[in-house]
A and B are shown apart, each in its own frame.
Chain A
Amino acid sequence: QVQLVESGGGLVNPGGSLRLSCAASGFIFNDYYMTWIRQAPGKGLEWVSYINSRGGTIYYADSVKGRFTISRDNAQSSLYLQMDSLKADDTAVYYCARDVSYNYYVSGNYYNGHYMDVWGKGTTVTVSS
């Protein structure tokens, strides 16, 4: 069945680095865009980053821009998030999700939309000394 499994979380000192991985199975990985989303303890969902199917288009939330790097290996059906210069505020459960991209037409204009139809169970990142 369709499945996403994150790994690589753990405890890291402020200023340190961590690399998260997400292994995909049950679907054609290179047909889909992918997204990382995080959730701090007791808080809501926060989008982190997005990568298109070939890795040519990447976006980041302002909160992680310049510190995090998203990438993918379609041959390995894997998604990655390299996290550098980590801060206490980065403490969260990190989810990878399959991103469905589409175009829609409203009031004479075309727009691009995205939603996440499959989520992993998440991996926990704790930034603390």
Chain B
Amino acid sequence: SYEVTQPLSVSVALGQTARITCGGNNIGSKNVHWYQQKPGQAPVLVIYRDSNRPSGIPERFSGSNSGNTATLTISRAQVGDEADYYCQLWDSTSCVFGTGTKVTVL
């Protein structure tokens, strides 16, 4: 089965840019989606199909995908962006989630 890897944690200074990676073999050939999950809450879709934002998601959230790495970028990070972030893709007949990255805003 297809495997994806994410860093366990990412720290970012308030107002700076955080980049969360999702690595996988030739992941650029697949569409990657990203979810934000705050403690005690259900996940929320923040990026779909590599780089599209659902309505209501701030423009500060963006995504890219190429080669062996997909990236979620959070610009001008705010305290409210502190959460776990998961990448997700569909592989043949199964859904694959990344291991999740905890983002801390300093």
Say if the beta carbon of B48 comes within 8 Å of chain A: yes
Say if the beta carbon of B106 comes within 8 Å of chain A: no
Determine, out of A11-19, A71-79, A103-111, the stretch whose residues face the partner at the interface: A103-111
Say if the beta carbon of B62 comes within 8 Å of chain A: no
Q: In the docked arrangement, what's the CA distance between A116 and B54, Å?
A: 11
Contact of B48 among A59, A95, A115 (CB under 8 A): A115
A50→B42 contact, CB < 8 A: no
Q: In the docked arrangement, what's the CA distance between A40 and B37, Å?
A: 14
Taking the nearest CB of chain A, how far is it from the CB of B67, in angstroms?
13
Number of interface residues of A (CB under 8 A): 27
Contact of A117 among B48, B93, B99 (CB under 8 A): B48
Q: In the docked arrangement, what's the CA distance between A120 and B42, Å?
A: 7
B44→A59 contact, CB < 8 A: no
Say if the beta carbon of B43 comes within 8 Å of chain A: yes
Say if the beta carbon of A61 comes within 8 Å of chain B: yes
Q: Contacts A47-B95, A47-B96: A117 and B90 contacting too (C-beta < 8 A)?
A: no
Q: In the docked arrangement, what's the CA distance between A106 and B98, Å?
A: 22
B48→A119 contact, CB < 8 A: no
Contact of B90 among A44, A106, A113 (CB under 8 A): A113
Number of interface residues of B (CB under 8 A): 28
The total number of A-B Cβ pairs within 8 Å is: 69
Main secondary structure of the interface of A (DSSP, over half): strand
B29→A115 contact, CB < 8 A: no
Q: In the docked arrangement, what's the CA distance between A45 and B88, Å?
A: 10
* Complex: chain A residue closest to B95, CB-CB: A47
Q: Contacts A95-B42, A117-B48: A35 and B100 contacting too (C-beta < 8 A)?
A: no
B66-104: CB near A (< 8 Å → 1, else 0) gives 000000000000000000101011100111111110000
What is A's interface to B at a CB cutoff of 8 Å?
A: 35, 37, 44-47, 50, 59, 61-62, 95, 100, 102, 104, 106-107, 111-117, 119-122
Query: What would 15 A/B residue contacts be, using CB atoms closer than 8 Å?
Result: A44-B86, A45-B37, A45-B97, A50-B95, A59-B94, A111-B30, A111-B90, A113-B89, A114-B95, A115-B33, A115-B45, A116-B33, A116-B43, A117-B45, A117-B48
